[in-house]
Structure formats: C-alpha cells, structure tokens
Amino acid sequence: MKKLRRLKKYIPYFIFVLLFIWHSVLYAQQQRFPRPEFEGGYTFPTHQFLNQRAPMWEYMDVAVLVGALMVTAWIALKKRSRQGLVWISLFSLAYFGFYRQGCICAIGSVQNMSLALFNDSYSIPLPALLFFIIPLIFALLFGRVFCAGVCPLGAIQELTGFKQVRVPKSVEMVLAVIPFVYLGLAVLFAATQSQFLICRYDPFVGIFRLDAPYTMIIFGSLLLIVGIFVNRPYCRYLCPYGVLQNIFSRFSVKHVTISPAECRDCRLCESGCPYDAILQSDPAPDVEKPKQSFKGSIIYFLMIPVLAAAFAVILYNFAPSLSVMNNNVKLAREIRLEKEEGIKAVSKAAVAFYESGKTEDELFEEERQIIGRFRKGAPWVGIFLGLSLGIGLFRLTIRKIRTFYEPDRGRCYSCGKCFKFCPVKIKT
C-alpha cells in the first residue's frame, strides 16, 4: 500500500516529463514528414490568420476585455468570491476562447509589440496594442486579475485543476526559468521578422478552433491532464506574458488578500494555495529565527551584472544558430549546402528561389544581414535573462519580517482558492 502511494506521488511528474518530450516531437514531426511539392505556382502561407473582422467588432473585444477585468477585480478584491471567479472564467473561456477562437490574444500581442518596436515597416493594430497594455495596467492596479479569470488559456486550466500536488521547490525554481527564456526568444524572433513563436506553439488555440494538427491537440491535452494534478502548468512554466504580469503585479496598488480583515495567524491557509504563492508569517518573538547572511546578499548582488554580461556573451555567440529560425537563413544554408557539398536543394522554398531570378550572392547577403540583426538583438535577450536570474537569486537572500500570512504578489494568480481556508468572513 505504501509503495502504491509513493508511485502515485510521482505520476504527475512522469506526465510532466512526457509533456516536454512531446513538445520536442512537434518540430521533429515537421522534419520527418515534409510538405508535399506541387507542380503549379502554389505557395504555402507563412502564417495562418482568421478572417478579418470589422474594426467595430475588434473594439468590441477590447470593451469586453475591460469589462471582464473590472468585474474580475471587483469579485476578487471586494466580493472575495471564488465561485464568482469560476463563473467569469467560464465566460472568458466561452467568449475569448471558443467564440473568438483565441484571437485577439494578450499573450500573442507580445510579438506584435516586438515587431512594431523594431521594424518601421510594421504598424501594430490599435486593438492588439490595447490587448497588450490593458491587462498590464490592471496588474499595476489590482494584481493578476487577468490571469484570475479573463485569460482563456488560464481559464481552461483553472477549470480542470481538480487535484493539488505540490511541486518540490527545487523543481519549481528550475521550471520557473522557462517562461523567461520563452519570452526572450519570442521577442527576438518577432523583432527579426523570423516567426511568431508563441502563436506557433500555443497549446490551446487548436482546441478553441478545432482545426490544429494532431500533435498540437495532443500537446494541449497533455497540459490539461497534467493540470489535473499540477494546477496551471502552462501559466506557471511556459506563459511568456505571465512574466510581465508577474513583474507588474509586484508593484500593484491593491492586491487580493487571504483574509478580508486582520490575519489571525491561524495557519489554516498554509496548504490552501496550489501554486505555493502564500508567504508565511515569521515565528513568534520567543522562537529563534534564522539569521540572514549579509555577506551572502552582497555576493549575490554583485553577481547580477556578472550574470547579465555572461548571458549576453553566450547569446551573442549563439546568434547564428538561433537565426536558422528565419526562413531566409534556412534557405540560404540549404542553397549553400547544395553549392559546397552537392546535396540538391529540393524544398519548395529552394525551387521558388531558383525560379525567382534572385542571385545566390543576394541571398547570402540577406542572410548576413539577418544574422547581424540576431547578433544585435541576442545580447539584449541575454542581459534580460541574466538580470532576471541574478535578481531572483538575490531576492532569496533578503526577506522582510512578516507578522501575517500574505500572497506573493508576483506569483499569486488571484484565483481565490485560499478564501475558503480563512475563518475570517466578510462583514455584511
């Protein structure tokens, strides 16, 4: 019996490992089964877009977003109703998920912003800009209310989180690095006009549209299965927009609290949060507290610029490898391989290149320019990653004294699951 319980404990982690293995299969599957070659002048679309809507309806989406955020903030901070947050999640899943089919998407708008900031030829549509900015403004005002019930990707996971398995803190810290890397690469690839990485590997948009490749359907389904045990796996370990929500929420004017009044330090909420986002109070004065190492804090503080510089150098050197995500760089390497080693280029892009009349020198020059853009952008991604890691490590060495239990403003999703554990009730 004890052995069965031990095995049951590790089932979620096995599924989680399987999930990331399957994610790596997605790209390999494309290489194993190349797209068919057509005889005519057909060209494959680079991206898939939904049918264009009238501007009036896009602004209607913005109005619905603002309304949903306002209602969610009111339910979470004022009414403190977990049931109300579940209902708003159902609405968001129905409207932004299945009705709007995951578009416009605040998470994907990160790429539109990156493309607009670093390319004069692209102007970001105003609705996409608003979908990027408005949830961050609400995060500054009220915490992560967008994650609480408005984001359809978060909503579909929130509604499937039936069990609660705590991820070990060491594993949690390692997995929490992934969204920062994902965000940095997504910004880099969008800024260099290579591809929209977030949209390409969105795990739930295929479920919303019911037309994704089976590999993406399986990926999304695995996330939901993992989410039964490890709540919100995409939000916690993949979502790039969640990184920005985390940062902005730490400076929020108001934030959801565990108790509606003064905390009684009853400790009932300790196990109430599936995201381990509850900061515990300090021991009583008569209990000896662990001493913080001032020397250790100084060392970690000095490591911040060192890590930023180191990651900048590493990403600079990896820039040519990262640039292969650009279709023109990929084509140039295929043509060069044929020229130098005699391996015939048979892809559709290569055939189109030979028929276009464009010279190899022009293609190789374009490749050099793109790699140059990657070399300019990659160090900034490295600095961002180095600073994030350094500041995260430094924060572990400092800790303010707390006399009550409170949510971690950055990691708390304002989901309200901790409300029921607090014996202090709202006075009506």
Phi-psi region of 396 (alpha: psi -120 to 50; beta: other; left: phi over 0): alpha
* pLDDT at residue number 338: 86
* pLDDT at residue number 55: 74
Q: Specify which residues 278 forms β-bridges with.
A: 407
Q: Where are the domains of the chain?
A: 2-24+57-258+409-421, 294-396
* pLDDT at residue number 1: 52
SS3 sequence of 379-423: HHHHHHHHHHHHHHHHHHHCCCCCCCCEECCCCCCCCCCCHHHCC
* pLDDT at residue number 428: 53
Q: Which residues of the chain have pLDDT under 50?
A: 4, 7-8, 10-50, 286-287
* pLDDT at residue number 414: 93
- The answer to pTM > 0.75 is yes
Phi, psi of 279 (to 5 degrees): -90, 125
Phi-psi region of 265 (alpha: psi -120 to 50; beta: other; left: phi over 0): left
For residues 254-286, one letter each, b for 16 or more C-beta atoms within 10 angstroms of the residue's C-beta and e for the rest, the string is ebbbbbeeebeeeeebeebbbbebbbeeeeeee
Q: Which residue reads 């089976």 in tokens? A: 214
pLDDT per position as a tens digit, 284-331: 554 455 555 677 788 889 999 999 999 999 999 999 999 999 999 999
Q: Which residue reads 């984001």 in tokens? A: 151
Residue type for position 362: E
CB atoms near residue 220 (< 10 Å): 21
Q: Which residue reads 């590790």 in tokens? A: 10
